[in-house]
Chain A
Amino acid sequence: MSDSIVKTIAIDAPVERVWAALTDHAKFGQWFQVEIDQSFVAGLPSTGRMTYPGFEDMPWEAQIVAIEPMTRFVYKWPATGGDKTAVETAIPAQEWTTVEFILVPSPGGTSLTVTESGFDAIAEPRRTNVMRSNDGGWAEQLRNIKAYVGG
């Protein structure tokens, strides 16, 4: 189990509507603030450019991994997600992270969870766990080392 960032949000709209906003590339672009060249297709790349003010020249690229109707939408994209310097100096292939959206119907409409994982993408053999931190993964741990780093 890789470490990750996990966010859950309650949306007052039916699952079908949220699903459309995620998997229709034009709708996706409206809230993600990106203009995407083609439909999302599992197994195929996605290309385009950012529309976020001030960053309109930044490319969008992703690899669509899974489209499971009304339930799960997954893509991979570069971890730098638009680092201007990296793009301009053509620094080759950074690490890619995986973004997974899970939709669950709820009394109020839809519960949407997004998980971004794979920040530690450099292959390193995992050792057998003899100690497991109660603080959870490294993302949580980093947030918890507050006292020392004065955060």
Chain B
Amino acid sequence: MSAASFIPPPPAILFAALGDPTRLELIARLGNGMPQSIAQIGETLPMTRQAVTKHLDVLHRAGLIDRHRRGREVQIALRRQAIEEARNWLNQIDAQWDETLARLKALVEQP
């Protein structure tokens, strides 16, 4: 366990929000950082606008997106901070395992 691990992980609600392929697709569509309307973001998805909105609600509750009203439309944008936080934490866990496994390998390979 490396020192880098001793940082609280993002809440499980964030990862739970990500653990759905439709929501993952929505996040991918927002990945360029540009705000989009619900209609734009849900284009070509085989579900009702209502279903898209429900997914967006989950993402919003998890802190992954911002919603701003622009005239009659709601604009959705990715929250950079939440994505970075989740990514950084995953990278740390990943790096920890690399280090830990390297120690296992070194020990086991000793003659």
Contacts and interface: CB of A to CB of B under 8 A. Distances in A.
Q: For chain A, give the interface size range.
A: 35 or more
Interface in A64-97: 79-86, 94-95
A21 B107 contact: yes
Interface residues of B, number: 52
B27 A141 contact: yes
Interface string B77-94: 010100110110011011
Interface string A118-135: 011110101101111101
Given A119-B15, A121-B12, A130-B47, A9 B84 contact: no
A139 B90 CA distance: 7
Interface in B1-49: 1-3, 5-9, 11-13, 15-22, 24-25, 27-28, 31-33, 45-47
A52 B108 contact: no
Nearest to A81: B5
A75 B84 CA distance: 28
Contacts of B103: 31-33
Contacts of A33: 1, 103
A27 B78 CA distance: 45
